[in-house]
Structure 1
């Protein structure tokens, strides 16, 4: 599954993202709307991560999902 399908199925997938990154609010997830760059930015903001660390977390999460 590529990231475009994540965007297309965001309503179903955002619960999994919330489980992974509990500091993200429902409003954050609604604004992100499946866009990877938005997700990276919110993770950086909420967790104080550097951009490369946020990208690695997203990659690890994405690859661990049973799509």
Structure 2
């Protein structure tokens, strides 16, 4: 988490630090938007969880 926080701050995007967990593309990080879908799966003793990050901008909906 500190790595994302530092990198986001260096690009003037400190508030995006948690988005960078799934936004891996350089363009996503520079522009502060999601361009391609990403997912992260994990489980707890009680639940299976899938986090999905999808673009909301109309120019990138086709990537879904």
Mark yes or no: TM-score above 0.5.
Answer: no
Scaled by the length of structure 1, the TM-score of the pair is 0.32
Q: Which has the higher contact order (CA 8 A, sep 6+)?
A: 1
Scaled by the length of structure 2, the TM-score of the pair is 0.33
Bigger radius of gyration, 1 or 2?
Answer: 2
